[in-house]
Structure 1
Amino acid sequence: MKIIIAGAGAMGSRFGLMLHQANNEVILIDGWQDHIDAINNNGLQANFDGEMVTESLEIYHQDDVSSIDFNADLVILFTKAMQLDSMMQSIQNMVGKNTKVLCLLNGIGHEDVIKNYVPLSNILLGNTMWTAGIEAPGKVKLFGNGSIDLQNLGADGQEAAEEVVAVLSEAKLNAKYSANILSSIYRKGCVNGTMNGLCTILDSNMADFGETDAADQIVEQIVSEFAAVAAMENADINVPEVLAQIKSCYNRETIGLHHPSMYQDLIINNRLTEIDYINGAIARKGKEYGIPTPYCSFLTKLVHAKEQVLAAV
């Protein structure tokens, strides 16, 4: 399959590498020039569960793709939420009438942007529990196991969605079809809505945060706000299961030493965060539905304040 990874950061690099190793024709598109140069010069270098792997993948800056002759079968979106619209504009020439677009962005409501460029029947929404980190331009750390759930938005698109599931699973990305992806997205939103913002504000990994006295109370309150908003959109969240999943992130023997993507963006790379599309989205929706969301609202403000303190760009 001819696949574009739109947003080749840590997660995009993981998916690009694994799909390339499964003999798909993959190109990466990103906006970080140092990362692009490093991959073009040295290949994508990965610490893949302790094994050093280097693969030669094509990568382009999103401002330079308008003339590339590549009619994609599948686009997987990993760009930052606030960059989604500009990325979709950049890759229009490579998106044909049969191209499927799988959105794996953190956050809620991205289909509202994508449908301006792609028919609803070609849009897939997904949720992934894989993790990854960037150690330096062109160098990523890929560890642990994960999975993907996805679903077609158009009523007649399940067959195409199942084809994408098969391609991802052949690449050992553990994909499966979901009949209710919105619930999966909200469940992942609970994990992102706790681990991302809190570890960023506290400058900690997930294990260190989980061992604090206040961790349980804060996490339970944030999850309750997500669950209340999700219920208004007929998305089911099993709160005890979600809390158990979040607490499993504290395990130092598995992923507890990981710093979430928002931490990597702001603390390591001095980039603006996606907080408006995670906790900020719950705060906006809570206001619309008349649901109090004090923890999500406050955490959103705290992260924005930290962005300003650090002069993030």
Structure 2
Amino acid sequence: MKIIIAGAGAMGSRFGLMLHQAHNDVILIDGWQDHLDHINRDGLIADFNGQEIVAKIPAYHQDHANEIDFDADLIIVFTKAMQLDHMMASIQNMIGDQTKILCLLNGLGHEDTLEKYVSKDHILLGNTMWTAGLTGPGKAKLFGDGYLELQSLSTTGKAAADKVIDVLNGAKLNAKYSEHILSSIYRKACVNGTMNGLCTILDSNMADLGATAPIDDIVNSIVNEFAAVAKHEGVELDLDQVLAQIKSCYDRETIGLHYPSMYQDLITNQRLTEIDYINGAIARKGQKYGVATPYCSFLTQLIHCKEELLGAK
């Protein structure tokens, strides 16, 4: 399958590498020129569960994507939420009548942007629990196991979704179809809405955060705000299940030593974060539905203060 990874950061690098290893025709598109230069010169270098792997995958800057002759069967979107519109506009020439878009972004509401570029029956919304990190331009650290769920936005898109799932599973990405992807997205948003912002503000990995005395009260308060908003959108979250999933992030033997993507963006690379599409989205939805969201609102403000202090761009 001809696949574009639109957003070749940590997670995009993981999916691109694994799909490339499964003999798909993969290209990477991103806006970080230094990262792209390293990949094109030296290959994508990955610490893959302790083994060094070098993959020669073509990598292009999104601002020059209109020069690329590549008719994509599948586009997997891994941009930051605030970059999605620009990316889709940049790669529009590679979107054909049969191209499917799989959106695996953190946060909520991205289908509204995607429908500006493709019809609903070409959009797959997904949720992934894989992890990944970048140790420098062109260098990825990929560890642990994961999975993803996806659902077609259209009732007629199930067959096409199954073909995408077959390709993903051929790359050992552990994909399955879901009839309730919004519930999965909200559960993932709860993980991101706790681990990302808190680890970033407190300069901590997930295991050390989980070892602090006040963390249970803080996490419970944030998750309750997510659940209250989700209920207004027809999603009933199983709070015990969500909290158990969050607590699994603290395990030092699995992913507990990981620094979440927001930490990597802001603390490591001084980049703007997706907080407005995670906790900020819950705060905005809370205002719409008359739901109090003091923890999400405060955490969003704290992250924006940190962005200004670090001069994030």
| TM bin (shorter chain) | over 0.9
- Residues 168-217 of structure 1, C-alpha deviations (whole Å, 9 max, x = no match): 01100000000010000000000000000000000100011111111000
CA distance in 2, matches of 1:110, 1:97: 21
| 2:166 aligned partner | 166
Matched positions, count? 313
Cα distance, 1:231 vs. partner? 1.0
SS at structure 2 position matched to 1:140: strand
Cα distance, 1:145 vs. partner? 0.4
The one-letter amino acid of 2:149's match is D
**Structure-to-structure mapping, 1:283-302, within 5 angstroms:** 283-302=283-302
CA distance in 2, matches of 1:67, 1:93: 9
**Structure-to-structure mapping, 1:1-313, within 5 angstroms:** 1-313=1-313
| Structure 1 gaps, min length 5 | none
* Aligned Cα root-mean-square deviation (Å): 0.5
SS at structure 2 position matched to 1:296: helix
- Residues 106-144 of structure 1, C-alpha deviations (whole Å, 9 max, x = no match): 000001101000101100000000000000100000000
- Residues 258-307 of structure 1, C-alpha deviations (whole Å, 9 max, x = no match): 00000000000000000000000000001100111110000000000000
- Residues 232-266 of structure 1, C-alpha deviations (whole Å, 9 max, x = no match): 11123111011011011111111111000000000
Aligned-residue identity in percent:
69
SS at structure 1 position matched to 2:102: strand
SS at structure 1 position matched to 2:3: strand
The one-letter amino acid of 1:237's match is L
CA distance in 2, matches of 1:53, 1:44: 8
The TM-score with structure 1 as length reference comes to: 0.99
CA distance in 2, matches of 1:70, 1:122: 18
CA distance in 2, matches of 1:115, 1:33: 28
CA distance in 1, matches of 2:263, 2:207: 14
SS at structure 2 position matched to 1:262: helix
CA distance in 1, matches of 2:310, 2:63: 27
| Structure 2 gaps, min length 5 | none
Cα distance, 1:50 vs. partner? 0.4
Runs of 4+ in structure 1 displaced over 3 angstroms?
Answer: none
CA distance in 2, matches of 1:15, 1:112: 24
CA distance in 2, matches of 1:234, 1:58: 42
CA distance in 1, matches of 2:17, 2:237: 32
